[in-house]
Structure 1
Amino acid sequence: MAGTSLEVAIAAGGTAGHINPALALAEELFSRGHHVRFFGQSAKLEGTLVPQAGFVLEPIHVTGFDRSRPWTLVSALVRERKASARVGEVFAEKGAPDVAVGFGAYVELPLMDRCRKRRIPYVLHEQNSVPGLANKTLASNARYVCVSLPQARAAFEGRVQGEDSIVLTGNPVRRSVLSASRKAGRAAFSIPGDATMLLVFGGSLGAQHVNEAIARLKARLLADPKLYVVHSTGKELYDGVVASLALTDAERERWQVVPYISNMGEALAAADLVVSRAGASSIAEIAALAVPSVLVPYPLATGDHQTTNAHYLADAGAATLFADGAIDGGAFADDLLALVGDAGRRERMRACARGLGQDQAAAKLADVVERAAAR
């Protein structure tokens, strides 16, 4: 909608996996001249991340319910109705939006309920290959349902207003990640320009089994004098990994162990190869920066959705995939070491990742939001 400034309301909260794609969309919408207001819980992660990004957060309070304790549904519904009323008060005080966007989780229910009652169009975005209950519940009244992965379409078919209402956009990635450069990343982690960098991470909480498998390969990896490793362990697992690696002073010059990486964009931009779990945000960022990857899905993820996420890259030729139970075997070690030493193969994987167009996800989703407001 060139030349038309929209008022956009966004509901996202609970986890960085919900909030960061929402912030990526907000950044894109703001760059197009639109005004964005968030709805979420000030005591949760969005209460920190949204204001830090420069956007207004209207506080509401909701709770989910425990399916093993059905009586908690009553209190959840009471809070949802109060939150919906609060959203209505914000609309009355500050103006109703032209369109709203929900990124899953229960925090989106009050906003979408109020929009439905006011006949304000709304768009849903699903980050995972296995959609959550909130998005599935709200899909029937959504103008569009946007999915990050093709495999998520099936869960919404029959729930939406028409099959053209389901749009594959990819999972938006924040500009701070997309704008990271290899040169700046190498400088941030003190990696020589002509070195091969292996980045290992298991998400914000780490991945103990992945840490153990990589630690066992220390001698074989460091046998390559050109290889540098940046290993993010997860905060709770850091001390154990440091102890198990038992790096000498010389080895620490080429193997950095950190509990958490806050500048993930720079880390990915600097990397030649990644070993990672396959959460939705990790997959999106790896694909957006076209980094070759070895993916080890978390085996206890709901509906085994991390395996489905990993197939998105592996089936495109951008990654290799190993089940968690297979990384103690020789095939994992052999493939990882082969990739470290084969720049040509890694470059072919990069080309496959670029072909997915994941770096355009925020723009594609913003296009859908504008289209929803125009209908």
Structure 2
Amino acid sequence: MSAVATPILLAAGGTGGHVFPAEALAAELLRRGHRVGLVTDTRGKGFGQNLPELPLYRIPSGTPSGRSLPGKIAALFEIARGVFGALNLIGLTQPAAVVGFGGYPALPLLLAARMKRVPVLIHEQNAVLGRVNRLVASRADRIATSFPVTRFLPARIPATVTGNPVRPAILAAADRPYEAPADGISVLVMGGSQGARVLSDIVPAALAALSQDIKRRLKVQQQCRPEDLERVRNAYAQAGIQAETATFFGDVAERLAAAHLVVSRSGASSTAEIAVIGRPSLLVPYAHAMDDHQTANAQALAQAGGAVVIAQDKFTVERAATMFNDLLGDPAELARMASAARSVGRPLATQALADLVERLVAERRKAAGVGSKATSKDHSVKRIAA
């Protein structure tokens, strides 16, 4: 469809799980000739840093969840201030549509858009609708989901499975086929952007408990918190396991593509990237994730046959060692899991999401008598209550 003269505003919180898909959509809409603006609050420092040519608007917001009563009141006051700021922004920019990616920084703009009857689409990265998306979902025009089964979807709002956009480096690495381990076995351990304490506590000891034949073939790469780095490094050295440890890996895509097994949390971005590249994984959902959404994400990959899931309270050295022994000792099973993971990956998620945004804009333009026929198609998703 032809590009719209007024901008499409994308609103997201400041965490990577919200920012990555929002920036991916922004880049795709720009490529298609649309004007785009980014919206967050003062906490979203990383939003837009990869797209410095785009206008970035900051409006007040607050997070009432998990705070004391005075804190909740203060947060609600900030959200109200943000709604007034968002109303002013909408008046100035006259957006063709607003797209929300979750997080409380997105809430004021989404509420203001509904008040001004601006078309609203929300994108949910997880298999459970997040708190902010849940607040506005029943008033949205469209919902885009990353998983075929997503909890808490309202029944009457059209929902489309687009998948969760991933970074360009992941898409480039996805072309590399999985090669079952032969002489060497590469294990990649990721714990989110800052590592995970439980993975540092359990994985080195579990791998150390394996047979000498497996240990001598292991090449481990593990992301750790800074305070865990030295003890993890020493644990691998004492076990005679070749290992590289760091607080951050800047080339995660390449490491994922080279891995024979991935050990990870199950955030939305991690599960999407594992599936798109197609690698077998052992997933340990973060036990305190809101609404236990990481377990739902992990189960979606496990049900396809691409992952093994162990709850954090069951993730002991003995249990992990047994799983490592079973998986690393069965190259054919690892290859089967890799194929299963790839089968549910959605490498065209960004394009599908951009198609959905364009369709929403086209429908509104058509209703106003200036539209063009939309070409994208909806795909129904299953809904479950809780």
Question: Which of the five TM-score ranges fits, normalised by the shorter chain?
Answer: 0.7 to 0.9
Instruction: State how far apart, in whole Å, the 1-side matches of 2:211 and 2:46 are.
Output: 39
Q: 1:75 corresponds to which residue?
A: 74
Does the 8 A contact of 1:196 with 1:227 survive in 2? yes
Q: Percent of aligned positions with the same letter in both sequences?
A: 35
In structure 1, the residue matched to 2:358 is 370
Of the three residues 141, 150, 171, the one matched with 1:178 is 171
Superposed displacement of residue 3, structure 1 = 5.7
Q: CA shift at 1:233, angstroms?
A: 1.4
Letter in 1 for 2:58: P
How far apart are the structure 1 equivalents of 2:211 and 2:296?
29
What residue is the counterpart of 2:29 in the other structure? 29
2:103 match: 105
Give the Å deviation of 1:5: 6.5
2:266 and 2:285 in contact (8 A); partners too: yes
**One-letter amino acid matched to 2:105:** V
**Match runs of 1:307-326 below 5 Å:** 307-326=295-314
Shift of 1:193: 11
Matched AA of 2:164: N
Q: State how 1:270-285 maps to structure 2 within 5 Å.
A: 270-285=258-273
Q: CA deviation at 1:236?
A: 3.5
Letter in structure 2 aligned against 1:78 = F
Residue number in structure 1 paired with 2:210? 220
Paired with 1:167 and 1:119, the residues of 2 have a C-alpha distance of 21
Determine which of 220, 226, 230 is the counterpart of 1:235. Answer: 226
Alignment of 1:199-210 (within 5 A): 199-210=188-199
CA displacement 1:292-323 (0-9 Å, x = unmatched): 10111222323322221111111001111122
In 2, the alpha carbon distance for the partners of 1:81 and 1:107 equals 12
Offset of residue 265 of structure 1: 1.6
2:163 is the counterpart of 1:139: no
Aligned equivalent of 2:83: 84
RMSD: 2.7
**Residues of 1 paired with 2:90 and 2:290: CA distance?**
36
Question: Which residue number in structure 2 is paired with residue 187 of structure 1?
Answer: none
SS of 2:189's equivalent?
A: strand
Unaligned runs of 5+ in 2: 364-386
Alignment of 1:328 onto 2:327? no
- Tell me which of 218, 225, 248 is aligned to 1:260: 248
Mapped partners of 1:78, 1:325: distance in 2: 38
The residue matched to 2:210 in structure 1 has which SS? helix
Q: How far did 1:199 drift?
A: 0.3
Residues 1:344 and 1:8: Cα distance change in structure 2 (over 3 Å): same
Query: More displaced, 303-312 or 234-243?
Result: 234-243
Give runs of aligned pairs for residues 143-182 of structure 1, distance below 5 A. Answer: 143-152=141-150, 154-158=151-155, 162-163=156-157, 165-180=158-173
Aligned length: 356
The CA deviation at 1:247 is: 4.8
How far has the Cα of 1:34 moved from its partner? 2.0
SS for the counterpart of 2:348 is helix
Deviation larger for 25-34 or 114-123: 25-34
- Cα distance in 1 for partners of 2:312, 2:106 equals 33
For normalisation by structure 1, the TM-score amounts to 0.85
Measured in 1, the distance between the counterparts of 2:99 and 2:197 equals 35
Per-residue deviation, 1:14 = 2.9
In structure 1, the residue matched to 2:331 is 343
In structure 2, C-alpha distance between the alignment counterparts of 1:347 and 1:100, rounded to whole Å: 42
Q: Deviations over 1:19-60 (max 9, x none)?
A: 112112222222222222111124x2x323412333331112
What does the per-residue CA deviation read over 1:310-340, in whole Å, with 9 as the maximum and x for residues that have no partner?
1111100111112223332645323323322
> Which structure carries more helix by proportion?
1
Structure 2 CA distance for aligned equivalents of residues 204 and 240 of structure 1: 19
Could you tell me which residue of structure 1 aligns to residue 14 of structure 2? 14
Q: Post-superposition shift, 1:227?
A: 2.8
SS of the counterpart of 1:50?
coil
Give the superposition deviation at 1:266. 1.9
Structure 1 unaligned regions, length at least 5: 184-191
Partners of 2:116 and 2:89 lie apart in 1 by 13
* Residue 359 of structure 1: how far off its partner (Å): 1.7
Q: Which amino acid aligns with 2:331?
A: A
Q: Secondary structure at the match of 1:294?
A: strand
CA contact (8 A) 1:181 1:270 kept: no
Amino acid at match of 1:208: R
Match status 1:299 vs 2:283: no
Tell me: CA distance 1:65–1:303, structure 2 relative to 1, closer, same or farther (3 Å).
Answer: closer
Local SS of the residue matching 2:347: helix
CA contact (8 A) 1:235 1:260 kept: no
Seen in structure 2, the aligned counterparts of structure 1 residues 221 and 311 have a Cα distance that, compared at 3 Å, is farther
The secondary structure found in structure 1 opposite 2:222 is strand
**Cα distance in structure 1, aligned partners of 2:341 and 2:2:** 31
Report which stretch shifted further, 138-147 or 201-210. Answer: 201-210
Separation of aligned partners in 1, 2:100 and 2:261: 33
SS at match of 1:156: coil
Look up the SS of the partner of 1:85 in the other structure.
Answer: helix
- 1:130-166 deviation digits (Å, cap 9, x = unpaired): 32221111112211112222342x41224xxx25x12
Mapped to 2, the partners of 1:199 and 1:298 lie a distance apart of: 18
Q: CA deviation at 1:271?
A: 1.4
